[in-house]
Chain A
Amino acid sequence: MTKSEYVVEMRKITKDFGGFKANDQVDLKVKPGEIHALLGENGAGKSTLMNILSGLLEPTSGEILLNGEPVKIDSPTAANRLGIGMVHQHFMLVDAFTVTENIILGNEPSHLGVIDRKKATKEIKELSDKYGLAVDPNAKVRDISVGMQQRAEILKTLYRGANILIFDEPTAVLTPQEIEELIGIMKSLVAEGKSIILITHKLDEIRHAADRCTVIRRGKSIDTVEVKGTTSEELAEMMVGHSVTFKIPKDPAKIGAPILNVKGLKVNESRGLPAVKGIDFTVHGGEILGIAGIDGNGQTELIEALTGLRKVAAGSVVIQGKDVTNAPVRKITETGVAHVPEDRQKYGLVLQMSLSENLALQTYYQKPMSRHGILNYHEMRKEALRLIREYDIRTTNEQLKAGELSGGNQQKAIVARELDRNADLIIVSQPTRGLDVGAIEYIHRQLIDQRDQGKAVLLVSFELDEIMNLSDRIIVLHDGKIAGEVHPETTTEQELGLLMAGSSVQAAAQEVK
């Protein structure tokens, strides 16, 4: 075996999708025992490159070398055999199975056709202990935390003998504490001689975890740098191709009159179980109220109840002095509410309709978009062109189907449609999920603008950075209740993280000290 300086070497990888090059002569060289970050915006070609490495896609041209030897990875099985394992962003686990069962799934050790559970459990326990993963092999997946599910995924790749682990945006679903733990685990893995490729567009994580970083932009590899000698700003600039502002400066809030009043609100989720368990809060004009919390703690149900999409079980919702508890969606909208929904493709847009029709989705029934039930397409198009210009939606034309826009432009279209209606209350949920820094900066600016115009903004986000940077006040939701209210100037990410995990304000403050 020829010894090479690199464990993985991808040379001049090109992947051509019928004229579009998702990867164009990309080079990636990973040293043994390092955490190598792969940084790039959405659609830059990170996933394509990693799908090539893990055998899901075949490159149009280019070669892959493992430990200096050229290899052909034409299927995920081949990748497995070569010791390449992927920890997916969306966990591939069966809820009703135990951790052990999930790990051996598709690769069951058996004796005369009977699964040798004992042996498997023992091996998994040993692996778990060796890398400090702290996973209970006998626990059912549905009973364990998201963080532990992720560790089970890691165990799965290790169990199959992976030496090169690919982590695809692993922190998207974790609390700050869990992220710290994960970084610790990754470090202990490389200490044991594994090599890690970390796909991410979060600069913080790279600074904390990675040794070196390869930046990809528009399908081309821009550079590979030592993380230690590079600033976040430099990394961001390489990623987007121009300089970016992380924290948008904002003036102190000029708090106005209360716009949204929520009292004793209780909401059930779809199975009828309580999801929001009696909460009170107020949003004033001129302020951004951030709602922090881990996904699944009642945020979705809360927003749906406020906007009329879900029945309120108890309590009241008052907007601008009008009681809109359980009012129809359109009445709430007309009371002066703009809503940027959490799931932009499911709720925000009709993907098969044109951009112009989508931009008219909230106003089609009013003058001048229609008159006596007859649509005025001329007016619709005129409006669409204005919004495309004013909100910088990148599209070839207004007749393009919404589904053909990039994620960032889809979100911009929704933001344009909602903000342009000049509503007093703006409810935004996960406004920048999956967007790249350029689009995030744009949307943050828009929200701060609205606040400065005296609008009330209610922001739900799972991204702590976003909550901390934008909010004037923060309430933390845990298990359908308000775990605490804090101010961004006086709180820390650690304190927020503890509140999100269910500690009380006092306990959280204690622990942080």
Chain B
Amino acid sequence: MLKVSQPIKKILVPLISILLGFLVGAIVMLIFSYSPIQAYTSMFQGALGSMSGIGETLRQATPLIFTALGFSVAYSAGFFNIGMSGQALAGWVASVWVALAYPNLPTYLLLPLAIIVGALAGGLIGAIPGVLRAFFGTSEVIVTIMLNYVVLYTSTYLLQNVMPKSFRSSTDSTQTISAHASLRMGWLQNIFGGSRINAGLFLAVIAIIIFWIMMKKTTLGFEIRSVGMNPFASEYAGMSSKKTIILSMVISGVLSGLGGVVEGLGTYQNFFTQTSSLSIGFDGMSVALLGGGSALGILLASLLFSILKIGGLGMQTGAGVPFEIVNIVIAAIIFFVAIDYVIGLLFKQKKATGTNTGAKPEQVIHQPKGGSEI
């Protein structure tokens, strides 16, 4: 067993998880007689080997940052938000709708309006399970999962039956939004070799900073953390756990909604029929867990995920590895992250192993010498 301090362990455990994931991926590839070295080389080349590859990787990371932040906010309040797919989808549809409805408004009005409406749409969907849990004690897991389907099929219905015909280019897709509503920036795309990278990335970085300030520096963040860790003590201290849970779910939904907004106004420039729940919702959960809920961790984890996703395409073309294998590698990494407790056991903790005796060793250790033991 290795002896390390707590902060080093915090970095080592995810790193080892990632390496083990790659290792399992390599074994799988060997079994199916693909060369892991060639595959991983083309993966990194695809994701980071060219400016356009880097641009796509950053573009892919953008919505993941939003959904991961969204997940973390709710998770801090003790709320397991699995509904980020739906919340993001609501944001996507709403923002594109606004963009299509007022195509000729100037950019400085239209773009913020579309972003805000998209964010609010996400917040609204997020508020539903929050309110249900706060007032009726409903399990958020079930409500959020089912709401994903509700939003998914509602979005198709809205597109095909409610939107004015003039907004659509076909039954399955809207028109492209006007340049006034687009998050794309010519100069940025030029730097990154014409990739779909867009200003959403800057919004995501701003969101990370706001998230960090909110959680660490504000009374709201204090309340969210407190309610998440101990709702009883929080009620005792006069906080409203109902209010905090709803608020954190609204914030979570707003962030997830923004994840959808950058897909709509940035990546795709339109909305088209979705056949399944948005993967950014679920990947955001993995990113948040891999990043340990910290702002920096989420940034790094979202980059890792987009390298895997974008590089996975490179693996296909460069090494002929099917995308399914790439998904196995990603799944393996998530698996090892999820069992990080087990990996943590590899490290000998500095405190004593737990016992159910009256003496709690770790408590006594911290006491100063001398004086009575209180």
Q: Which of A20, A44, A350, A373 has the most CB of B within 10 A?
A: A350
Contact yes or no, A409 B230, CB < 8 A:
no
Name which of A4-12, A132-140, A341-349 contacts chain B. Answer: A341-349
Complex partner residue of A348 from B220, B236, B239, B366, CB under 8 angstroms: B236
With a cutoff of 8 Å between Cβ atoms, the chain B residues found around residue A144 in the complex are none
Task: Give the A interface residue count (CB, 8 A).
Answer: 63
With a cutoff of 8 Å between Cβ atoms, the chain B residues found around residue A347 in the complex are 232-233, 236
With a cutoff of 8 Å between Cβ atoms, the chain B residues found around residue A412 in the complex are 374
Complex partner residue of A242 from B220, B351, B357, B372, CB under 8 angstroms: B372
Interface residue A240 (Cβ < 8 Å from any Cβ of B): yes
With a cutoff of 8 Å between Cβ atoms, the chain A residues found around residue B230 in the complex are 346, 349-352
Contact yes or no, B217 A375, CB < 8 A:
yes
Given A18-B351, A350-B229, A409-B374, A394–B237 Cβ distance below 8 Å? no
Interface string of B319-354 (1 = CB under 8 A from A): 000000000000000000000000000000001110
Interface residue B275 (Cβ < 8 Å from any Cβ of A): no
Q: What bracket does the count of chain B residues touching chain A fall in?
A: 35 or more
19 other contacts beyond A18-B361, A45-B359, A48-B359, with CB at 8 A cut-off?
A18-B351, A22-B361, A43-B360, A48-B355, A57-B357, A218-B373, A240-B373, A328-B238, A330-B239, A341-B236, A346-B230, A362-B238, A364-B219, A374-B217, A394-B367, A394-B368, A404-B362, A436-B374, A439-B374
Chain B: which residue is nearest A333 at the CB level? B238
Contact yes or no, A438 B372, CB < 8 A:
yes
Question: Which residues of chain B have a CB within 8 Å of any CB of chain A?
Answer: 217-220, 222, 225-226, 229-230, 232-240, 351-353, 355-368, 371-374
Whole-angstrom distance between the Cβ of B36 and the nearest chain A Cβ? 40
With a cutoff of 8 Å between Cβ atoms, the chain A residues found around residue B355 in the complex are 17, 22, 48, 51, 57
Chain B: which residue is nearest A394 at the CB level? B367
Whole-angstrom distance between the Cβ of A198 and the nearest chain B Cβ? 15
Whole-angstrom distance between the Cβ of A477 and the nearest chain B Cβ? 22
Q: Measured between alpha carbons, how far is A249 from B353 in the docked complex, in Å?
A: 43
Counting from the closest, the 3 A-B pairs by CB-CB distance are A330-B238, A47-B358, A18-B352
With a cutoff of 8 Å between Cβ atoms, the chain B residues found around residue A373 in the complex are 218-220
Complex partner residue of A406 from B238, B352, B356, B374, CB under 8 angstroms: B374
Contact yes or no, A353 B353, CB < 8 A:
no
Contact yes or no, B226 A350, CB < 8 A:
yes
Q: Measured between alpha carbons, how far is A471 from B373 in the docked complex, in Å?
A: 27
Interface string of A24-55 (1 = CB under 8 A from B): 00000000000000000111111110010000
Q: Measured between alpha carbons, how far is A401 from B311 in the docked complex, in Å?
A: 42
Contact yes or no, B357 A51, CB < 8 A:
yes
Contact yes or no, B363 A405, CB < 8 A:
yes
Interface string of A357-396 (1 = CB under 8 A from B): 1000110110000100111010000000000000000111
Interface residue A19 (Cβ < 8 Å from any Cβ of B): yes
Complex partner residue of A44 from B353, B356, B362, B373, CB under 8 angstroms: B373
Contact yes or no, A375 B368, CB < 8 A:
no
Contact yes or no, B236 A43, CB < 8 A:
no
Q: Measured between alpha carbons, how far is A328 from B356 in the docked complex, in Å?
A: 38
With a cutoff of 8 Å between Cβ atoms, the chain A residues found around residue B365 in the complex are 19-20
18 pairs, CB–CB < 8 Å, chain A vs chain B: A17-B352, A19-B365, A20-B362, A20-B364, A43-B358, A44-B373, A242-B372, A307-B236, A329-B235, A353-B225, A357-B222, A374-B217, A394-B367, A404-B362, A406-B360, A406-B364, A438-B372, A438-B374
